[in-house]
Amino acid sequence: PRSILQWNVGSHRDISHESLSLFRLLEPRVEILVLGTGDRVERLHPATLKQMRECGIAVEVQDTPNACATFNFLMSEKRMVAAGLIPP
């Protein structure tokens, strides 16, 4: 539940079904994935988001500072949440 893993993503352009596979493998199962895309919110490919929903994982895309705040809030509510963060 409290792990830090290396996510090999340099920018929002690297976020794909394959790069998100890490979050589909986590146990206990993640229900919400918060993605921080750097200084600003970047759009991800709709098919990538759809594939995550089909796996039962909701994805919230935000700029990284807000993604950190959202992650902390969801953790305080004891939600099964993970964060993929790209530094601003």
pLDDT digits (tens, 9 = 90+) for 33-58: 999 999 999 999 999 999 999 999 99
Residue 34 pLDDT: 98
- Can you count the helices (H) and strands (E) in the chain? 3, 3
Write b or e for each residue in 55-70: b if 16 or more Cβ atoms lie within 10 A of its Cβ, otherwise e. eebebbbbbbeebeeb
Question: From CA 22, how far away is CA 88, in angstroms rounded?
Answer: 22
**Amino acid type, 63:** D
The token pair at 16 is 């794909």
**pTM for the full model?**
0.93
Q: Is 61 helix (H, G, I), strand (E, B) or coil?
A: strand
Predicted confidence band of residue 61 (pLDDT cuts 50, 70, 90): very high
Dihedral class, residue 74 (left if φ above 0, else alpha if ψ from -120 to 50, else beta): alpha
> Of the given ranges (7-11, 46-50, 71-75), which has the lowest mean pLDDT?
7-11
Overall average pLDDT of the 61-86 stretch: 97
CATH class of 29-85: alpha beta
Predicted confidence band of residue 1 (pLDDT cuts 50, 70, 90): low
